[in-house]
């Protein structure tokens, strides 16, 4: 017997089955947390946003109309909360990792990723992942959100276009630009691949 | 397909979403630049797969699950909710109910306002009062018919009055008298009797004159407050006793505060005793309460008319 769909689980939860909600939480807790973590670039903020996302799901589950997938709805909530958070951070005067620095002219994300220990040392120290994470966090917001939705959750481009409110072709272009940029930053980590 | 189109579809080819995968593969096989772009893209995807995945704190999940459990389940399923009338429909029904209530209540309120408080205590008495009212209506209709028929009405005019039931007990006689005095059909009949048709023959005029004098008597008898008779004395004595009790109690007990019903009863007693100032004062107080407002205002109107 196949697992119930997200939409069926949400409907069950609306009728009072809290176990259905726990199943939904189990399915999405890791990807949604990493989406928030890479968007907020701060674990503490990401935890706050993570809690806010699920609280909004609990509060607004009656508003879910079922004409979109649950995953689309969930990530739309998460993205909106991230945007609100970024606005607040800009208001507070935090420097963006995407902004070019006055001296080098490079964004912090790229500068950070370009320096540091060698590949071997990073692999030994388990820091390759950290460097990739910094590179992803250094992507422009529009590219980063598409990249994360695709890589973390594996959403189809059509779903991503619903979440970010842009045409599917635009979403594909953003994904391509994000990969090109990551490839430039992380080229020293790459290994040749066969077609 | 050219190289630019190929490069645009390289990612789609990797993700198996290319519009023309065969065309892309053909260009990749013969164009070194496109092949390099493909390799770089694929390598970037492979590297980013090493993006570290972190777990949220279990304590947070626990708090979220507790919040989810605390949420009250929907009492009404969505489909049932759709079957419920819209808020505007509920408002319209409520307005309609209020309108019907306003249209039907005044008659009963008027009847109650005519009676002293506590007199119409049960449904039987109310029904009896309604019966009396109905008889009066019949009577007035008869008078109308008599007035229009002219001489034939002379004999007929007396019949309904004689057929009218005797006042039984309590205040039903004053109720009827006041009702009759206010009743518009009676006023119309009196007016019609007082002004016979100009084209009526002389004989009919004489009969009409006789009828007029009798009708005037009847109208005067009906509209005049029942100042005389045993019933009148009983009412006055009762009211005097009530007023005395009230004044004594108000004088001795500083904390005494009459209820709206008592205020209405006191006002009516003062009205019966022709103490207009006190009657108005207590009726106005009673009119300030929603329970006694209708009756008190009716009594105030009556007081003003007097």
Determine, for residues B60 and A62 on separate chains, whether the beta-carbon distance falls below 8 Å.
no
Tell me whether residue A192 is in a domain. no
Residue-level pLDDT at B114: 57
Q: Are residues A86 and A136 located together in one domain of the fold?
A: no
Q: Which residue has the higher pLDDT, A164 or B143?
A: A164
Q: pLDDT by residue (tens digit) across B191-236?
A: 444 444 444 444 444 444 444 445 444 444 444 444 455 565 667 8
**Beta carbons of B44 and A190 less than 8 Å apart:** yes
pLDDT tens sequence across A28-56: 999 999 999 999 988 999 999 999 999 99
Among A62, A182, A188, most B C-beta atoms within 10 A, so best to mutate, is: A182
Judge whether A122 lies within some domain.
Answer: yes
pLDDT of B100 reads: 84
Considering the domain boundaries, does residue A100 fall inside one?
no
Q: Are residues A78 and A138 in the same domain?
A: no
> Which of A91, A119, A137 is at the close of a domain?
A91
Same domain, residue pair A78 and A130: no
In this structure, the answer to whether residues A171 and A113 fall within a common structural domain is yes
How far apart are alpha carbons B12 and A91 in whole angstroms? 38
Per-residue pLDDT at B219: 47
pLDDT at A8 over 80: yes
DSSP states of chain A as a string?
A: -PPPPHHHHHHHHHTT-HHHHHHHHHHHHHHHHHHHHHHH--HHHHHHHHHHHHHHHHHHGGG--SSS-HHHHHHHHHHHHHHHHHHHHHHTTPPPTTSBPTTT-SBHHHHHHHSSS-HHHHHHHT-HHHHHHHHHHTS-HHHHHHHHIIIII---HHHHHHHHTS-HHHHHHHHHHHHHHHHHHTGGG------
Q: What's the pLDDT score for residue B24?
A: 78
- Taking CB atoms and an 8 Å cutoff, what residues of chain A touch B46? 190-191, 193
Band of residue A102 on the pLDDT scale cut at 50, 70, 90: low
- A85 and A136 belong to one structural domain: no
Quick check: is A63 in a domain? Answer: yes
Which of B12, B28, B60 comes nearest A51 by C-beta? B60
pLDDT in tens, B27-36: 888 888 888 8
pLDDT in tens, A110-153: 545 444 555 665 555 467 888 888 999 999 999 999 999 998 88
Q: For residue range B230-259, what is the model confidence (pLDDT) as tens digits?
A: 565 667 888 888 888 888 887 777 777 788
Q: Is residue A78 part of a domain?
A: yes
Q: For a pLDDT cut of 70, what percent of chain A falls above it? A: 77
CB contacts of A127 in chain B (<8 Å) are none
CATH number for the domain spanning A75: value is: 1.10.1740.10
Domain check: are A52 and A11 in the same one?
A: yes
ipTM of the complex: 0.78
Alpha carbons A46 and B54: distance in angstroms, whole number: 11
Contact B123, B167 (CB under 8 A): no
Residue B250 has what pLDDT?
79
Would you say B69 and A18 are in contact if contact means Cβ atoms under 8 Å apart?
Answer: yes
pLDDT tens-digit map of A159-175: 999 999 999 889 988 99
The sign of the torsion formed by the CA atoms of B231, B236, B241, B242 equals positive
CATH code of the domain covering residue A161:
1.10.10.10
Q: List, as ranges, residues 128-147 from A with C-beta within 8 Å of B.
A: 128-130, 132-133, 136, 147
> Do A22 and A53 belong together in one domain?
yes
Query: Mutate which of B52, B58, B80 to test chain A, going by most A C-beta atoms within 10 A?
Result: B52
Q: Which tens digit of pLDDT belongs to each residue from B82-136? A: 556 677 788 888 888 888 888 776 665 555 555 554 444 454 555 555 565 555 5
Taking the C-alpha atoms of residue B49 and residue A182, their distance in angstroms, rounded to an integer, is 12
Chain B residue at shortest CA distance from A53 = B64
Q: From the candidates B68, B73, B79, B80, which should be mutated to test the interface with A, based on the most A CB atoms within 10 A?
A: B68
Residue B142 is predicted with a pLDDT of 45
The pLDDT value given to residue B184 = 43
Contact B73 A172 (CB under 8 A): no
Give the pLDDT confidence of B148-191 residue by residue, as tens digits.
Answer: 444 443 333 344 444 444 444 444 444 444 444 444 444 444 34
Domain around A112? 108-184
Nearest-Cα distance to chain A for B90, in Å, is 23
B56, closest residue in chain A (CA to CA): A33
Residue A77 sits in the same domain as residue A14: yes
Q: Specify whether A59 is located in the same domain as A12.
A: yes
User: A interface mutation test: which of B11, B31, B32, B44 has the most A CBs within 10 A?
Assistant: B44
Residue A188: per-residue pLDDT: 75
pLDDT at B275: 86
Query: Which of A130, A132, A175 lies at the smallest CB-CB distance from B47?
Result: A132
Residues 76-95 of A with CB under 8 A from B: none
Cross-chain Cβ contact B46/A191 below 8 Å? yes
Inter-chain contact A54–B64, Cβ cutoff 8 Å? Answer: yes
> Does A172 reside within a domain?
yes
Is A102 contained in some domain?
no
A103 falls within a domain = no
What is the tally of structural domains in chain A?
2
| Better-predicted residue by pLDDT, A68 or B203 | A68
Cβ contacts of A59 on chain B, cutoff 8 Å: 71
CA nearest to B74 within chain A:
A15
Q: Does the pLDDT at position A64 exceed 60? A: yes
**Residue B224, pLDDT score:** 45
B interface toward A at CB cutoff 8 Å? 8, 10-12, 17, 28, 35, 38-57, 60-61, 63-65, 67-69, 71, 73-74, 77
In contact, A135 and A109? CB cutoff 8 Å: yes
Same domain for A77 and A129, yes or no, is no
Which residues in chain A have their CB less than 8 angstroms from residue B50's CB?
128-129, 132
Yes or no, beta carbons of A182 and B49 under 8 Å apart:
no
Q: Are A130 and A160 within one domain? A: yes
Give the end of a domain, one of A63, A91, A119.
A91
Residue A20, pLDDT above cutoff 50: yes
Q: Which residue has the higher pLDDT, A60 or B233?
A: A60
User: Could you report the per-residue pLDDT of B49-88, keeping only the tens digit for each?
Assistant: 888 899 999 999 999 999 998 875 654 454 545 556 677 7
């Amino acid at each position: 017997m196949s697992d119930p769909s997200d939409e069926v689980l949400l409907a069950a939860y609306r009728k009072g089955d809290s176990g259905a909600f726990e199943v939904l939480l189990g399915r999405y807790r890791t990807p949604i947390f990493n989406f928030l973590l890479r968007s907020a670039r701060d674990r503490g903020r990401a935890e706050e946003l993570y809690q806010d996302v699920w609280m909004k799901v609990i509060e607004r589950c009656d508003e879910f109309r079922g004409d979109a997938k649950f995953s689309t709805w969930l990530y739309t909530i998460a993205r909106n909360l991230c945007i609100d958070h970024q606005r607040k951070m800009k208001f507070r005067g935090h420097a963006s990792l995407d902004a070019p620095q006055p001296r080098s002219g490079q964004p912090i994300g790229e500068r950070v990723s370009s320096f540091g220990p060698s590949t071997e040392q990073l692999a030994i120290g388990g820091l390759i992942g950290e460097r990739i994470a910094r590179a992803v966090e250094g992507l422009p917001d529009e590219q980063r959100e598409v990249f994360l939705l695709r890589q973390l959750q594996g959403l189809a481009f059509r779903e991503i276009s619903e979440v970010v409110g842009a045409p599917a072709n635009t979403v594909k272009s953003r994904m391509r630009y994000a990969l090109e940029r990551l490839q430039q930053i992380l080229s020293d980590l790459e290994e040749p691949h066969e077609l | 397909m050219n190289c630019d189109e190929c490069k645009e579809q390289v990612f789609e080819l990797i993700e198996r979403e290319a519009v023309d995968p065969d065309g892309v593969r053909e260009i990749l096989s013969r164009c070194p630049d496109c092949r390099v772009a493909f390799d770089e893209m694929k390598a970037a995807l492979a590297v980013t797969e090493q993006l570290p995945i972190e777990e949220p704190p279990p304590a947070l999940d626990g708090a979220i699950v507790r919040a989810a459990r605390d949420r009250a389940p929907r009492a009404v399923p969505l489909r049932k909710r759709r079957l419920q009338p819209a808020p505007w429909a509920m408002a319209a029904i409520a307005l309609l109910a209020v309108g019907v209530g306003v249209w039907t209540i005044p008659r009963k309120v008027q009847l109650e306002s005519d009676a002293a408080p506590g007199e119409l205590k049960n449904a039987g008495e109310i029904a009896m009062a309604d019966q009396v009212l109905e008889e009066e209506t019949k009577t007035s209709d008869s008078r109308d018919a008599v007035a229009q028929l002219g001489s034939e009405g002379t004999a007929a005019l007396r019949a309904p009055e004689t057929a009218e039931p005797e006042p039984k007990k309590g205040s039903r006689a004053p109720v009827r008298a006041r009702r009759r005095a206010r009743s518009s059909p009676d006023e119309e009949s009196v007016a019609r009797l007082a002004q016979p048709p100009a084209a009526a023959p002389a004989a009919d005029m004489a009969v009409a004159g006789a009828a007029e004098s009798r009708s005037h008597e009847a109208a005067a008898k009906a509209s005049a407050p029942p100042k005389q008779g045993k019933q009148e004395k009983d009412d006055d004595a009762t009211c005097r006793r009530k007023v005395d009790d009230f004044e004594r109690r108000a004088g001795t007990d500083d904390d005494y505060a009459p209820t709206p019903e008592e205020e209405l009863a006191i006002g009516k007693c003062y009205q019966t005793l022709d103490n207009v100032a006190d009657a108005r004062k207590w009726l106005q107080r009673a009119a300030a309460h929603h329970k006694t407002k209708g009756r008190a205002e009716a009594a105030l109107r009556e007081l003003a008319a007097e």
